[in-house]
Every structure is written in C-alpha cells, then in structure tokens.
Amino acid sequence: MIKKLLFTMGLLVSSLSILFAQTETKKTFFAVHTGLTRLAAPKNLSNSWQSGVNLGVELNHALKPRFLFVGTLNYNHFYFDQQSFLNSLKLTNPEEYFITSKAATMITLLGNLKMLYPTKTGGRATPYLFGGIGVLYLNYADRTIYGPESEEVRPGETEFALALRAGLGAEISIETTTLFAEVGANFGLTKDNNTIFFPFKLGIQIK
C-alpha cells in the first residue's frame, strides 16, 4: 500500500510539473479556509465521531483562465461522541456504563482540478466544480467501555490510504477580496470499509 501511495504522489508531482511548464500565463496564489466536517462512514467510526471542524491551506495555480490546479492540505478534527457510541451498543441498562476515548484526526494531501463556470468572466459570484486525488491519514483512539462487572476495549487505528474528492463551490468577489464557500465528498479507500466524510468550508484567497 505504501509503495502504491508513493507511486501515486510521484505521478501527481510529475504531471503537475509538466502542466506548470506548459502554462503560458502563470498565476499562483494561496487560500486558507475553515469549516465543519461530517463523518458518514464507516459506521464503526461515524457512531463515535460524527462531526468536527476543519482547517486547511491551498495552493492555486492557473492552468487556463478558468481552469486551475489546486493543491490542498486539510486537517479534520472529530470530537468523540460518548452518547452516540453508547446508543449504538444497544445496551439494556446504558446508565450503568461509561465510555472513554479521544478525538479522531484525518489529514488529506490532495491534488485537484478546479473549473470555474461559466467559462467566461463576469459577475461577482462564480460557481465552480472540483475533483482530486491524493493521500488520507486517519487516526482514532481506543474506545474503552466500563461496565458494572467488566471492561472492554475497542481498538483504535492509524492508517494511510488513497483518497478521492469531488464537490462544488462558489467564489464571491468583494472589491479586491475573493471569498469562497464549498462542500465536497471525500472518500478514503481504507481497508475493510471505505471512509467517507463531507467537509463544508469557508475561506479567503490570498493574492
């Protein structure tokens, strides 16, 4: 798996080097964002860590006037939901049990293609579509279940996996400032079951 991930990242870097070299009008800028993230699957995770916050930075490079390459580094922090996990156990006497765990973390490093629409400039609000591929880092802690007569540990895990991303958004220009909002679906090809989460982001471009 590690060799496949390294090969994928190497292919991305090589492809981007070619694209950058062929770009006639080079325009590069950064963006930062924050927002909320909803964890949807697998159930083993979503019944314990449902929602959280995200932070990220982006490197945007214009390939054509309305097509961009966007390199993204995103951090997602999910809070442990003790009550949700307790409910998923379907215990007959849940008040006699206590659960402990910690926050879960997901970090993605992705290369994306972004298309602004319409393909002609004009107007303050500009919708866009995006899609990308990269790497997902997933880490979540043990969950310890304390019962009246026993103790059980559901083990945590740390994993690297191939990641895919797609979604839509809109840029809003206000004088010399450009804000953006977007929502996307992220898919981590993790072992056993795929990891799916939906980040909603609000950000600002730094030109």
- Residue 15 sits in a domain whose CATH number is 2.40.160.20
Q: Would you state the pLDDT for residue 149?
A: 85
Burial class (CB in 10 A: 0-12, 13-18, 19+), 73: middle
Q: What is the mean pLDDT of the chain?
A: 87
Domain contains 33? yes
Tell me which residue has tokens 């600002």. 204
Domain contains 151? no
Higher pLDDT, 187 or 93: 187
Q: What is the pLDDT of residues 174-189, one digit of tens each?
A: 888 999 999 999 999 9
Q: Would you state the pLDDT for residue 25?
A: 45
| Listed residue (63, 51, 84) closest to 20, CA to CA | 63
Domain contains 95? no
Q: State how far the Cα of 61 lies from the Cα of 29, in Å rounded to an integer.
A: 7
Domain contains 145? no
Q: Per-residue pLDDT averaged across 79-92, rounded?
A: 89
Domain contains 54? yes
Q: State how far the Cα of 69 lies from the Cα of 143, in Å rounded to an integer.
A: 40
Q: Would you state the pLDDT for residue 123?
A: 67
Q: What is the pLDDT of residues 108-160, one digit of tens each?
A: 999 999 999 875 566 688 999 999 999 999 999 999 999 988 899 999 999 99
Q: Would you state the pLDDT for residue 150?
A: 86
Domain contains 176? yes
Q: Would you state the pLDDT for residue 121?
A: 60
Q: State how far the Cα of 187 lies from the Cα of 168, in Å rounded to an integer.
A: 15
Q: Would you state the pLDDT for residue 183?
A: 97
How many domains is the chain built from? 1
Question: Whole domain around residue 194: which residue ranges?
Answer: 2-86+103-140+158-206
Residues 6+ apart with CB under 8 A from 15: none
Q: What is the pLDDT of residues 186-199, one digit of tens each?
A: 999 999 899 999 99
Q: Would you state the pLDDT for residue 6?
A: 47
Strand order across the 98-100 sheet: 98-100, 143-146, 151-154
Whether the CA torsion 164, 109, 25, 180 is positive or negative: it is: positive
> Is residue 4 over pLDDT 60?
no
Q: Per-residue pLDDT averaged across 26-48, rounded?
A: 92
Domain contains 152? no
Q: Would you state the pLDDT for residue 207?
A: 79
Collapsing DSSP to helix, strand or coil, 73 comes out as strand
Q: Which spans in the chain are helix H?
A: 2-22, 43-46, 82-88
Instruction: Provide the strand spans (E) within the chain.
Output: 28-41, 51-64, 67-78, 98-100, 104-116, 125-140, 143-146, 151-154, 157-174, 177-188, 195-206
Confidence of residue 26 (pLDDT cuts 50, 70, 90): low
Q: Would you state the pLDDT for residue 24?
A: 43
Domain contains 67? yes
Q: Would you state the pLDDT for residue 77?
A: 97
Question: With b meaning 16 or more CB within 10 Å and e meaning fewer, what string describes 160-190?
Answer: ebbbbbebebebeeeeeebebebebebbbeb
